[in-house]
């Protein structure tokens, strides 16, 4: 009885579906049968500071902006550039002038055409002191002519090196050649905004009722700290290839709650809670996914003048580094596809060969023996135990790592560690002002090249919180910037890091997520994790 009625229902659903939209029922490329429900719901941990392209600063916000707006180029599933609003570009011989040819059929969601002038307006706006965007430095990073002066308020935004030759031709002038300039154009800061809308509504233009956008989706509902809903934009130039109808971002602070709701079928994507990957991947092998993420996890030593004397001895630092059993951290504590790190640069960074660091090929027993020897040599032992303050920011994962490492130091070396977890702002303050012995650090790549990590070791870098200062490293890094084959320099820098131990590389990140079984098209191969809802689809089960 139940079986039969269910059968009837299924049949009628199929009938409705087939009669209604025969063409939309299979994927145009792969031919897979599509599910009737094409909505995608995913979880984020916190509300984004902004979804205004000119102001967006976090990755969750950037994900939203990439759906709502479209820049000159997009990324495909493996991270290669594909045309967005721009079809192609020409570069002048000196590499300073880029001319972009825009497509004719790009439209705003109110029907206006997307023109080169929209880009000019958006870029000038992003750089203007009036908007005071925390991401205005990105315009400077792109080396656009006069960007520094415009940001500092010494020049008018109109003097920024970007001009609309005509509605479909955009010219950008750079202050220095930048080979990866086109790659930078997939970032939200460079996306166009609709001038009339922004001028009419001021900062309220991002409200669903006001927003005019040019992406594959338009904003239909936005309740901060709760949900953000975007639906298919029928005026998008590639609308016919868009499959997902609505995309909902839910703010769910607690990752365990998010997992519960995922398991209850409310979400199509959520994060794997710390330490739960092995269990979830055993139970749901098709749903739990781990991919490399472009970040490195490390502990830094405080090398400032006036910092504790004992840590100024490289042997002590090296002993502490040797005694950290990375395999336990990645295989037991985290166990979610992370990799033990003996180099600062992430192993999966494009064009980077992980150099042979002697420590990496030793067994943990050999490392422990060497560590004990080094520490004894430095004059520390049972009679004169070393004692250190370890600072980390409040988070279950960081806590687990800190507890494990403090016990490794205690059990192997007899070092006393005072754990101190601090909330984020206090932690940043302590780290930037050198108020620590050892502090946790995590660094994520800005772009897919080794220097995005290694530049932190430069003595002048604003992000070098351990204040490591080695003129040879500075020279090697400066040389690498203009070198055709910088790998040799990077090898040397990594060797210096292993030798001087200003930091303890611990592991290289992996991103672990649960994806609904019928969700397809996720760009797992995209190292920067840039995904577009328009590329996703759900197959019928």
Q: Which of residues 273-332 bind other proteins (CB under 8 A)?
A: 273, 275-276, 278-279, 325, 328, 331-332
* Near other proteins in 504-523, by CB under 8 A: none
User: What whole-number distance in Å separates Cα of residue 375 and Cα of residue 513?
Assistant: 41
Query: Is there binding between residue 55 and other proteins (CB under 8 A)?
Result: yes
Pinpoint the alpha helices (H) of 90-161: 116-127, 136-141, 147-152
User: What whole-number distance in Å separates Cα of residue 119 and Cα of residue 484?
Assistant: 33
Query: In this structure, what are the phi and psi dihedrals at residue 418, rounded to the nearest 5 degrees?
Result: -100, 110
Q: Nearest approach, Cβ of 353 to other proteins (angstroms)?
A: 27
User: What whole-number distance in Å separates Cα of residue 98 and Cα of residue 70?
Assistant: 19
Distances (CA, A) of 178 to 181, 289, 354, 449: 5, 35, 26, 14
421, 452, 469, 487: which one binds other proteins (CB under 8 A): 421
420, 470, 518, 526: which one binds other proteins (CB under 8 A): 420
Query: Based on CB atoms, which residue is closest to other proteins, 408 or 498?
Result: 408
Query: Based on CB atoms, which residue is closest to other proteins, 91 or 400?
Result: 400
**DSSP string computed for 271-297:** EPPTT-HHHHHHH-TTTEEEEEEEEEE
Query: Based on CB atoms, which residue is closest to other proteins, 61 or 292?
Result: 61
Q: Nearest approach, Cβ of 135 to other proteins (angstroms)?
A: 9
Cβ atoms of 40 and 536 within 8 Å: the answer is yes
Query: Based on CB atoms, which residue is closest to other proteins, 116 or 211?
Result: 211
394, 459, 483, 499: which one binds other proteins (CB under 8 A): 394
Query: Is there binding between residue 268 and other proteins (CB under 8 A)?
Result: no
Query: Based on CB atoms, which residue is closest to other proteins, 106 or 336?
Result: 336
Query: Based on CB atoms, which residue is closest to other proteins, 115 or 393?
Result: 393
170, 252, 272, 413: which one binds other proteins (CB under 8 A): 252
Residue 32: Cβ within 10 Å count: 14
Query: Is there binding between residue 416 and other proteins (CB under 8 A)?
Result: no
Query: Is there binding between residue 129 and other proteins (CB under 8 A)?
Result: yes
Query: Based on CB atoms, which residue is closest to other proteins, 320 or 333?
Result: 333
User: What whole-number distance in Å separates Cα of residue 40 and Cα of residue 266?
Assistant: 10
The interface region with other proteins, picked from 113-121, 133-141, 300-308, 510-518 by CB under 8 A, is 133-141
Which token pair is 25?
Answer: 């029922």
18, 78, 105, 253: which one binds other proteins (CB under 8 A): 253
Query: Based on CB atoms, which residue is closest to other proteins, 18 or 253?
Result: 253
Query: Is there binding between residue 226 and other proteins (CB under 8 A)?
Result: yes
Query: Is there binding between residue 50 and other proteins (CB under 8 A)?
Result: yes
Query: Based on CB atoms, which residue is closest to other proteins, 335 or 503?
Result: 335
Which token pair is 174?
Answer: 């750079």
199, 254, 286, 356: which one binds other proteins (CB under 8 A): 254
Q: Nearest approach, Cβ of 531 to other proteins (angstroms)?
A: 22
* Near other proteins in 66-105, by CB under 8 A: none
Q: Nearest approach, Cβ of 356 to other proteins (angstroms)?
A: 27
Cβ atoms of 403 and 508 within 8 Å: the answer is no
Query: Is there binding between residue 264 and other proteins (CB under 8 A)?
Result: yes
Q: How many CA atoms lie within 13 A of 44 on its CB side?
A: 21
What is residue 445's three-state secondary structure? coil
Q: Nearest approach, Cβ of 76 to other proteins (angstroms)?
A: 28
* Near other proteins in 332-371, by CB under 8 A: 332-335
Query: Based on CB atoms, which residue is closest to other proteins, 331 or 479?
Result: 331
Query: Is there binding between residue 137 and other proteins (CB under 8 A)?
Result: yes
107, 173, 261, 304: which one binds other proteins (CB under 8 A): 261
76, 112, 167, 266: which one binds other proteins (CB under 8 A): 266
Encoded one letter per residue, x for contact with other proteins by CB under 8 A and - for no contact, window 142-171 reads ------x--xxx------------------
Cβ atoms of 59 and 529 within 8 Å: the answer is yes
Query: In this structure, what are the phi and psi dihedrals at residue 28, rounded to the nearest 5 degrees?
Result: -60, -30
The interface region with other proteins, picked from 158-166, 259-267, 372-380, 493-501 by CB under 8 A, is 259-267
Using CB atoms within 10 A of its CB, is residue 16 exposed (0-12), middle (13-18) or buried (19+)? exposed
Q: Nearest approach, Cβ of 519 to other proteins (angstroms)?
A: 19
Encoded one letter per residue, x for contact with other proteins by CB under 8 A and - for no contact, window 463-502 reads x---------------------------------------
HEC string for 36-61: CCCEEEEEECCCCCCCCCCCCCCHHH
- Terminal Cα-to-Cα distance of the chain (whole angstroms): 23
Residue 304: Cβ within 10 Å count: 16
| Residue whose entry in the numeric block shows the structure tokens 């611990």 | 506
Using CB atoms within 10 A of its CB, is residue 70 exposed (0-12), middle (13-18) or buried (19+)? buried
Query: Is there binding between residue 51 and other proteins (CB under 8 A)?
Result: yes
Q: Which residue, among 115, 112, 121, 119, has the nearest Cα to 235 in the 3D structure?
A: 112
* Near other proteins in 426-455, by CB under 8 A: 426, 428-430, 432
User: What whole-number distance in Å separates Cα of residue 207 and Cα of residue 447?
Assistant: 31
Q: Nearest approach, Cβ of 355 to other proteins (angstroms)?
A: 27
Query: Is there binding between residue 199 and other proteins (CB under 8 A)?
Result: no
Q: Nearest approach, Cβ of 118 to other proteins (angstroms)?
A: 19
Q: Which residues fall within 8 angstroms of residue 5, CB to CB, at 6 or more apart?
A: none
What is residue 410's three-state secondary structure? helix
Residue 28: Cβ within 10 Å count: 12
Query: Based on CB atoms, which residue is closest to other proteins, 116 or 151?
Result: 151
């Amino acid at each position: 009885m139940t079986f039969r009625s269910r059968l009837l229902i299924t049949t009628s659903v199929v009938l409705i579906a087939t009669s209604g939209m025969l063409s939309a029922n299979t994927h145009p490329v792969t031919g897979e049968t599509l599910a009737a429900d094409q909505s995608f719901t995913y979880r984020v941990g916190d509300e984004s500071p902004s979804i205004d392209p000119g102001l967006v600063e976090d990755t969750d916000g950037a994900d939203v902006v990439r759906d709502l707006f479209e820049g000159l180029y997009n990324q495909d599933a493996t991270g290669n550039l594909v045309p967005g609003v721009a079809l192609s570009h020409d570069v002048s011989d000196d590499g300073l002038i880029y001319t972009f040819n825009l497509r004719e059929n790009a439209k705003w969601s109110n029907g206006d055409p997307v023109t080169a002038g929209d880009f000019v307006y958006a870029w000038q706006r992003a750089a203007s002191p009036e908007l005071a965007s925390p991401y205005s430095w990105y315009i400077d990073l792109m080396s656009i002519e006069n960007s520094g002066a415009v940001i500092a308020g010494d020049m008018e935004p109109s003097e920024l090196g970007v001009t609309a030759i005509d509605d479909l031709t955009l010219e950008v002038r750079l202050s220095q050649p930048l080979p990866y300039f086109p790659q930078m154009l997939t970032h939200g800061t460079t996306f166009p905004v609709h001038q009339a809308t922004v001028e009419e509504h001021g900062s309220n233009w991002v409200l669903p009722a006001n927003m005019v956008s040019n992406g594959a989706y338009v904003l239909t509902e936005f309740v901060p700290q709760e949900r953000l809903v975007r639906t298919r934009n029928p005026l998008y130039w590639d609308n016919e290839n868009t499959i997902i109808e609505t995309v909902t971002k839910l703010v769910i602070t607690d990752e365990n709650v998010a997992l519960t709701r995922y398991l209850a079928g409310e979400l199509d994507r959520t994060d794997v809670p710390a330490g739960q990957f092995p269990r979830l991947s055993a139970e749901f092998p098709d749903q739990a996914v781990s991919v490399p993420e472009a970040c490195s996890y490390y502990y830094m030593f405080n090398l400032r003048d006036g910092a504790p004397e004992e840590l100024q001895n490289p042997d002590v630092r090296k002993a502490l580094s040797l005694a950290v059993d990375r395999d336990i951290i990645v295989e037991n504590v985290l166990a979610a596809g992370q990799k033990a790190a003996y180099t600062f640069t992430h192993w999966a960074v494009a064009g980077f060969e992980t150099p042979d660091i002697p420590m990496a090929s030793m067994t943990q027993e050999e490392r422990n023996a060497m560590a004990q020897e080094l520490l004894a040599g430095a004059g520390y032992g049972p009679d004169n135990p070393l004692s250190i303050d370890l600072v980390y920011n409040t988070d279950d994962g960081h806590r687990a790592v800190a507890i494990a490492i403090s016990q490794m130091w205690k059990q192997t070396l007899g070092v006393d560690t005072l754990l101190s977890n601090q909330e984020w702002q206090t932690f940043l303050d302590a780290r930037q002002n050198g108020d620590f012995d050892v502090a946790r650090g995590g660094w994520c790549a800005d772009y897919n090249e080794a220097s995005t990590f290694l530049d932190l070791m430069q003595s002048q870098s604003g992000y070098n919180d351990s204040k490591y200062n080695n003129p040879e490293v500075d020279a090697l890094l400066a040389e690498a910037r203009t070198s055709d084959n910088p790998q040799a320099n990077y090898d040397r820098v990594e060797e210096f890091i292993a030798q001087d131990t200003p930091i303890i590389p611990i592991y290289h990140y992996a991103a672990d997520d649960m994806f609904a079984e019928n969700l397809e098209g996720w760009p797992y191969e995209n190292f920067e994790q840039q995904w577009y809802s328009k590329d996703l689809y759900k197959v019928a089960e």
